[in-house]
Amino acid sequence: MSFISSLRPGGRHGLSSRETRDPIGLAVAAVNRLAQSELIDRVGLRKQAEHAVYSTTRNGFRVATAAGRTFARAGRRTAGARPANAPSRGVFDLTPTDDEAMLLDVVRELATEVLRPAASAADEACAPPAEVLAAAQDVGLPSLGVPEELGGIMEERSATAGALVAEALAQGDMGLAVATLAPGAVATAIGLWGTEAQQQTYLPAFTGDGAGPGVPVAALTLAEPTVLFDPFDLATTALRDGDGFVLDGVKSAVVRGAEAELFVVAATLDGTPALFLVESGADGLEVEADPSMGIRAAGLSRLHLTGVRVGADALLGDTDGAAYTECVRLSRLAWCALAVGTGQAVLDYVKDYVNGREAFGEPISHRQSVAFMVADMAIEVQAMRLLTWKAASRATRGQDFAREVGLARQLCTEKGMRIGLDGVQLLGGHGFVKEHPVERWYRDLRAVGVMEGAVLV
């Protein structure tokens, strides 16, 4: 039995909350939906449909955000429930727990049977297929970081589980991994820093207990389209206005921004970075297509905020920057895990290729220059993994992990790009063409050092 057939029915497949969008937005949604239909295969229009999706996304659009569902307001503005930190085992042991191991088995199967086969078409279309998103929802990825008492699936805080899941998904495809993890990043942020009212308002939709057509599309938006972007020097501003705030600025690398119903927006408040919950129906929000060199399957876009007014209850976390700083670190940790997974995918693919490719009567892996390059890749992947897991382990136990995540990010940025480059080199001319996935993984790995936000563990 395949992975898809073993899942229960569900997931978002309709336009639902996007019905009020203008004609351009509906056109983009329509061609994306068409490209995901099995009908076009039966009538022989697959190539034409994919070309329409690619052209529409490449040429860009700028539309009002989706109207979004109505999130029911509830509770008071008091401290929300916080997931408990995992206890220390007293020894240096990065072995996954039994629960993490079982979760990892499911996610690996998802990556192998669902993400990997869909990756090439999703990269061309600059959008994740509906069946991939539905499968991720059915295995509970959106509620992975939500505490069990709030409807999640984990008894205690586990950045380690999040890192393991991100790594496993990225072995299928980094772009699709980002697309499937993005809603869970928002749910995790609300679980970590949200007030009781915010948790009661938004988390039921992510855990399957709320009204509406499935888990909402949501995006964590930290990055901005500026040269040498510094997440602690934001151009987006939040000004106090009466009993609320007014947001102005532009955010980039917004995952599935045209469909998103809820955003976590980073903005400077009184000189300090802070996080705000912004629903897609707010006046002054516009989305613009922003396809990139890599992780194209995540459907990246820009979010324009022009005089967006939100209430006092939209502030997520504190005003002293502590929550924001942790958010940046957890996001960087997630990108490290994605780099490890994609680096492992390159290594596995290249090993099989050099052992099977023959030149002068023997496999090219018998050449020392080739063998040493593959060995270096294996060493670098393992080093990246150990640093990432160590940082995740400290985060899981509630210990300071600033140094560890800084070291992991530096190594994953540098060695991740090198692994991608060496993978392309080892395939020779085949590394340059789309017949093999290594060129796509190389493009994806270059995102690790520049992406901020989008996902967290």
Domains in the chain: boundaries: 3-45, 322-445
Strand segments (E) across 119-261:
218-221, 237-241, 244-255
Burial class (CB in 10 A: 0-12, 13-18, 19+), 264: buried
Strand segments (E) across 76-189:
none
Q: Which candidate, 246, 212, 249, places its Cα nearest to that of 234?
A: 249
Task: Check residue 429 and give its pLDDT.
Answer: 83
At residue 377, what are phi and psi to the nearest 5 degrees? -60, -45
Cα–Cα distance, 217 to 184 (Å, whole number): 9
* Residue for token pair 């493009």: 443
* Residue for token pair 């990432």: 388
Domain 322-445: assigned CATH number: 1.20.140.10
124, 54 in Cβ contact below 8 A? yes
Give the least confident one: 2-11, 206-215, 351-360: 2-11
Better pLDDT: 226 or 149: 226
Task: Check residue 55 and give its pLDDT.
Answer: 44
AA identity, residue 91: V
* Tokens linked to 181: 């993890």
Q: Which candidate, 394, 383, 454, places its Cα nearest to that of 418?
A: 383
Task: Check residue 212 and give its pLDDT.
Answer: 55
DSSP state of 89: -
Cα–Cα distance, 54 to 120 (Å, whole number): 13
* Tens-place pLDDT, residues 367-395: 889 999 999 999 999 999 999 999 999 99
3-state secondary structure (DSSP) of residue 171: coil
* Tokens linked to 182: 């993005």
Q: Given pLDDT bands bounded at 50, 70 and 90, which one contains residue 28? A: very low
Cα–Cα distance, 17 to 38 (Å, whole number): 24
Instruction: Give the angle 287-291-295 at the CA atoms, nearest 5°.
Output: 120
263, 190 in Cβ contact below 8 A? no
Residue 315, CA distances (Å) to 78, 83, 440 in order? 12, 20, 38
Residue 360, CA distances (Å) to 48, 366, 367 in order? 42, 11, 11
Q: What is the mean pLDDT of residues 357-362?
A: 83
AA identity, residue 236: T
Contacts of 355 (CB under 8 A, 6+ apart): 363, 365
pLDDT over 80 (residue 32):
no
Q: Given pLDDT bands bounded at 50, 70 and 90, which one contains residue 358? A: confident
* Residue for token pair 């220390």: 88
At residue 261, what are phi and psi to the nearest 5 degrees? -105, -15
Give the least confident one: 30-39, 79-88, 207-216, 404-413: 30-39
Task: Check residue 89 and give its pLDDT.
Answer: 62
Cα–Cα distance, 286 to 303 (Å, whole number): 6
* Tokens linked to 299: 């459907």
pTM of the model: 0.82
Task: Check residue 330 and give its pLDDT.
Answer: 96
